[in-house]
A and B are shown apart, each in its own frame.
Chain A
Amino acid sequence: MKPALRHSLVAILALVALPACVGPGPEADASTTRISRAGLFEVSYTSTVTPVPKRALHSWTLQVHTRDGHPVTDARIRVEGGMPQHGHGLPTAPVVRAGPGDGLYVLEGMKFNMGGYWVVDLVITSPEGNDDVRFELNL
């Protein structure tokens, strides 16, 4: 390819690549393991459907440990969340029940009814203390 042609291509590519049209919205920290707000727990989730689906009911498995690695049993976990940018909550009322092992819980009834930036807050009440943790998702 002649240098002139190559330079033209590079110039055109640079111009075409420049405009970013619709912004992706806030960038989610999509970590599936987070430390709770006051630092009491390390909490992780695994979706039963991967990637996390849009418009389909599914479940998460939660793992809750103390910071020194002990499973947190007998916790009560309430689920909140939604799309802060749009001012609405979750479209369903998910619930959490004890799961198949120490520190494991099953979050049932999870659903996201559109793509975009979502947050899921888990409010944890346990003999080890009370704390909450936020997960962010960009669907």
Chain B
Amino acid sequence: MRALVRITAAGAVLALALSLAGLLAGEPAWSREEKAILRDLRLTRGPLAPDPSNRYAASEDAAELGGQLFFDRRFSSNGTVACATCHVPDRYFQDGLPLSKGVGTTGRRTMPIAGVASSPWFFWDGRKDSLWSQALGPLESPVEHGGDRAQYVLLLATHYRRDYERVFGAFPELFGVPPHASPGGTKEARAAWQRMTPGQQDAVNRVFANIGKAIAAYERRIQPRSARFDHYVDAVVAGDSVGANGILSRDERAGLRLFIGKGDCIRCHNGPLLTNNDFANVGTPVRSGLPADRGRMEGARQVMQDEFNCLSSYSDALPSQCGELRHIHVDARSLRQYKVPSLRNVADHAPYMHAGQLATLEAVVEHYNRAPASPTGESEIKPLGLSVKERKQLVLFLATLSAPLATEPVPGAVSLQ
């Protein structure tokens, strides 16, 4: 017994001595408040956030159909563009380009989609308020898929009728629906839409919304996995400081300390996905050649008027379940605000910012360190005063957030790369 006490005491002394050594070497132990912050950043596995606006969100059949549509290039004006053209599975569902390229070139960077199902807002400017409604935007964008809703609904009826009906019930009568029609497409498509009856328009809109709901059911399954950072926090929370220090290097730990301290990164990049799902103006420079961009100011206006928003007749939610939209906040500060992206796998997502203005993480950290004035509106960040060494440590820490994604194979789906 006495021997056991001696061993235990010796172990305690050793652990304390290690902590002291760390302290003397300039690395204090995490405080109670800091540990609480670290726990808040740790990836936790649990049920996905529900989406009351999509009653098919958890349907296996819907996800299978959505996965096939995600990779199907026929859903474009020229037969060459699918969702997976920009959201490339082998590249964390993004394309590595400054600006997305569909049938044309967009004015924005492709957003990674892992874990995005838990977000209340979609696109860099939050102009959509559900994952299913988001999926409809690029389909009709003239520079992304370039097609129109009548075309897609007819394609679905031809190639996916049985799969569709297994999820959504009987296909509506499409007799008389023109091959191309949309309320927002080309002049010809708009004219064709106007010639359709209200019943035909509603039938096409309903199937079109269901295309989005199936794609969303698939995308919801694309989730980040625990990275080295999470394993480190697990060890810290368990009180295993020796084990923890074997997971992250000294510089990575210093970077983490900067991330939650001097760097003030957690002001926006908080929670398990390292985003508060909100919008911020961080003074990102203008990318030359792009039109004026008001960011969230314009996105908020659009989502409130969106024909497929949570309060629309194509949503499955009760109005009381549309709290984010009903309590949307927009004011002068919304000008040139953009969505705070998740930092999961951020080291694999270059280039950065809403139009790929910054090529590397080093450039991003330097941007935050300098905090230049915003081209329009008011930047919310202040200079950080980080040394060269601290900037390097912050970048090293960000790489500890990388891990392979959790995705389930989709039968019949083929990578486009």
Could you tell me which A residues sit within 8 Å of B by CB distance? 1, 5, 8-9, 12-13, 15-16, 19-24, 54-55, 57, 86-95, 108-109, 111, 113-115
Indicate whether B45 reaches chain A with its CB closer than 8 angstroms.
Answer: no
Do residues A19 and B323 form an inter-chain contact, with CB atoms below 8 A?
A: no
Indicate whether B324 reaches chain A with its CB closer than 8 angstroms.
Answer: yes
How far is the CB of A33 from the nearest CB of chain B, in Å? Answer: 25
Q: Please indicate the chain B residues that have their CB under 8 angstroms from the CB of A95 in the complex.
A: 327
Give the complex CA separation of A95 and B36 in angstroms.
31
Give the complex CA separation of A105 and B266 in angstroms.
33
Do residues A115 and B37 form an inter-chain contact, with CB atoms below 8 A?
A: yes
Partner of B278, one of A20, A22, A86, A113: A113
How far is the CB of B275 from the nearest CB of chain A, in Å? Answer: 9
Do residues B278 and A91 form an inter-chain contact, with CB atoms below 8 A?
A: yes
Give the complex CA separation of A16 and B19 in angstroms.
7
Do residues A22 and B260 form an inter-chain contact, with CB atoms below 8 A?
A: yes
Q: Please indicate the chain A residues that have their CB under 8 angstroms from the CB of B271 in the complex.
A: 54-55
Give the complex CA separation of A54 and B272 in angstroms.
11
Residue of A nearest to B333 (CB): A88
Do residues A22 and B329 form an inter-chain contact, with CB atoms below 8 A?
A: no
B17-76 contacts to A, CB under 8 A, are: 17, 19-20, 23, 28-31, 33-34, 36-37, 40
Q: Please indicate the chain B residues that have their CB under 8 angstroms from the CB of A23 in the complex.
A: 33
Could you pull out 10 A-B pairs where Cβ atoms are within 8 angstroms? A5-B9, A5-B13, A16-B19, A16-B20, A21-B31, A54-B40, A55-B277, A86-B267, A93-B327, A114-B270
Indicate whether B328 reaches chain A with its CB closer than 8 angstroms.
Answer: yes
Q: Please indicate the chain B residues that have their CB under 8 angstroms from the CB of A88 in the complex.
A: 333, 380
Do residues B328 and A93 form an inter-chain contact, with CB atoms below 8 A?
A: yes
Task: Return the 8 tightest CB-CB contacts between A and B, nearest first.
Answer: A109-B327, A113-B276, A92-B327, A12-B16, A21-B31, A57-B323, A19-B28, A93-B329
Give the complex CA separation of A122 and B326 in angstroms.
20
Do residues B23 and A19 form an inter-chain contact, with CB atoms below 8 A?
A: yes
Give the complex CA separation of A24 and B23 in angstroms.
20
Give the complex CA separation of A24 and B261 in angstroms.
11
Q: Please indicate the chain A residues that have their CB under 8 angstroms from the CB of B277 in the complex.
A: 55, 113
Residue of B nearest to A86 (CB): B267
Q: Please indicate the chain B residues that have their CB under 8 angstroms from the CB of A94 in the complex.
A: 327
Residue in A8, A90, A113 with the greatest tally of chain B CB atoms within 10 Å: A113
How far is the CB of B52 from the nearest CB of chain A, in Å? Answer: 12
B252-268 CB contact bits vs A (8 Å, 1 = yes)? 00000100110000111
Indicate whether B292 reaches chain A with its CB closer than 8 angstroms.
Answer: no
Q: Please indicate the chain A residues that have their CB under 8 angstroms from the CB of B388 in the complex.
A: none
Residue in A9, A16, A89, A109 with the greatest tally of chain B CB atoms within 10 Å: A16
Give the complex CA separation of A55 and B29 in angstroms.
28
How far is the CB of A121 from the nearest CB of chain B, in Å? Answer: 15
Residue of A nearest to B16 (CB): A12
Do residues B380 and A22 form an inter-chain contact, with CB atoms below 8 A?
A: no
Do residues B323 and A21 form an inter-chain contact, with CB atoms below 8 A?
A: no
Do residues A21 and B30 form an inter-chain contact, with CB atoms below 8 A?
A: yes
Do residues B327 and A12 form an inter-chain contact, with CB atoms below 8 A?
A: no
Partner of B323, one of A9, A108, A114: A108
Given contacts A22-B34, A87-B380, list 4 more A-B pairs with CB under 8 A: A21-B34, A23-B33, A94-B327, A113-B277
Q: Please indicate the chain B residues that have their CB under 8 angstroms from the CB of A16 in the complex.
A: 16, 19-20, 23, 29
Do residues A12 and B278 form an inter-chain contact, with CB atoms below 8 A?
A: no
Do residues B40 and A91 form an inter-chain contact, with CB atoms below 8 A?
A: no
Given contacts A12-B17, A16-B16, A113-B278, contact A92 B329 (CB under 8 A): yes
Given contacts A21-B34, A94-B327, contact A54 B278 (CB under 8 A): no
How far is the CB of B107 from the nearest CB of chain A, in Å? Answer: 25
Do residues B34 and A9 form an inter-chain contact, with CB atoms below 8 A?
A: no
Partner of B326, one of A1, A9, A109: A109
Give the complex CA separation of A109 and B324 in angstroms.
7
